[in-house]
Amino acid sequence: MYDFAVVGIGPAGARFARRAAERGYDVVAFEQGELGKPLACSGHVSLDVWEYVPDEAREELFQNEIRGARFHLGGADSEAYPFYKDEAISNAVDRVQLDKVLADAARDAGADVREQHTVTEVAEFNDRVELTVRGPEETFDVTAKMVAGSDGPRSRVRDALALPEPDEFLHGALAFDPEPDHENFVDVHLTVPEFFAWRIPRGEGGVEYGLAAAPGEDVPALFDALVEDYGVEIEHRCSGVIPIGPPDTVTSTRGFLLGDAAGQTKPFTGGGILYGMTAADCAAREIDPDRPTTLTAYENAWRDELGRDIQLGHLVRKGYSAPQPLQRAGMRLFEGEIGVHMDQPTSLFSAEQLRALLR
Ligand SMILES: Cc1cc2nc3c(=O)[nH]c(=O)nc-3n(C[C@H](O)[C@H](O)[C@H](O)COP(=O)(O)OP(=O)(O)OC[C@H]3O[C@@H](n4cnc5c(N)ncnc54)[C@H](O)[C@@H]3O)c2cc1C
């Protein structure tokens, strides 16, 4: 019997598999398709990402350095309100390759990582979990002491464990103009109901255009309008779901959720790569597969680590729906140099942000 069976090898599952294996646990991890594919993510991340990947992978992952964002209340030609640092704030990284690098790190740590394996059923008992897995050649059963559901926003494990869904699912879409662009600013357009549209220069990777919107909005039409406004030809159109939450609980008797499955995302950007990996570290540190009561320690630990920033992130997002005169006044008040960390809205109240405001 394995100690942990991990379902889904995105950033959260790969990170958990690696850390649990490093602690000496017997870990098997299943990914239904090819690692990192299909792409449905911008891979725009704070510099903290480099703490999670081996040093030698940096060169293959790095695409562009971002030092600021120009906020717009209208389209491509509308007035811009710049927010910036005189150093890098974030990086655009090769998102498909990121998953591969993180999975390789899990393999190197001793986890049994299997691509092209779909977990079709999960049954939870008092002393174990049983998984049915469809592989390329056969369907088989796996028994483990615990299951980690890191299978993304539409988590099958979450349903099997009868755990609640995140409150909301945004629909995101993105596509690329292949023309290289090494500029250091992203553009953010508060033109989409309850969220925003973006333009991210990705160095030799071209320029990404994207947006996310609340359920019920016509995302393809909004996306067409964005691209038309910029007057660009795009390719590799893709889309995905962004869970906004989190739900009240992400643990059961012998199972727990990680990453998007657990709604561990930033409500004001939809970003979940670093929150998912942070929570994965909490899980690997706190959960002992022989002591199910330690699941509560995981639940407390990740909420301690991320809860305040998620709460404040909800408030920041409310600003996207504020009346335009109020948005304009807010932009004028805060535009210029900033001292905030892009994953931590609580850093709005940091000494660094205060110093930046005074400058
Ligand atoms: C348009 C868009 C743009 C985004 N941009 C950013 C960004 O710039 N920065 C950022 O931080 N976040 C961004 N995100 C969010 C980010 O993609 C997610 O938060 C992140 O991928 C979550 O990681 P995860 O490991 O929890 O889940 P995922 O990355 O979704 O991985 C889950 C994995 O589970 C696998 N799986 C599912 N079911 C099964 C099964 N039954 N058996 C086996 N495997 C299974 C899937 O194939 C998948 O590989 C964006 C999301 C969208 C939609």
pLDDT at 352 over 80: no
* pLDDT tens string 209-250: 999 998 899 999 999 999 999 999 999 999 999 999 999 999
Which pair of tokens denotes residue 326? 């109020």
Ligand 1 proximity of 210 Cβ (cutoff 6 Å): yes
User: How many angstroms is it from 294 CA to the middle of ligand 1?
Assistant: 26
Ligand 1 atom with minimal separation from the 157 CA: 41
pLDDT of 161 strictly over 80: yes
What are 106-116's pLDDT values in tens digits?
999 999 999 99
Cβ atoms within 10 Å of 260's Cβ, excluding its own: 31
How does pLDDT run across 278-334, given as a tens digit for each residue?
A: 999 999 999 999 999 999 999 999 999 999 999 999 999 999 999 999 999 999 988
The class level of CATH for 2-319 reads alpha beta
Distance 119 CA to ligand 1 centre (A): 16
Instruction: Look at residue 260 in the predicted model and tell me its pLDDT.
Output: 98
Comparing CA positions, the residue from 30, 25, 33 lying closest to residue 13 is 30
The pLDDT-based confidence of 358 (bands split at 50, 70, 90) is low
Q: Which protein residue has the closest C-alpha to ligand 1 atom 45?
A: 8
43 touches ligand 1 (CB under 6 Å)? yes
Domain ranges of the chain: 2-319
Neighbours of 131 (CB within 10 A): 23
Distance (Å, whole) CA 254 – CA 271: 28
The rounded Å distance from CA 178 to ligand 1 centre is: 23
Ligand 1 binding pocket includes 12 (Cβ within 6 Å): yes
Pocket test for ligand 1, best of 151, 154, 171 (most atoms within 8 A of CB): 151
Q: What value does the mean pLDDT of the chain take?
A: 95
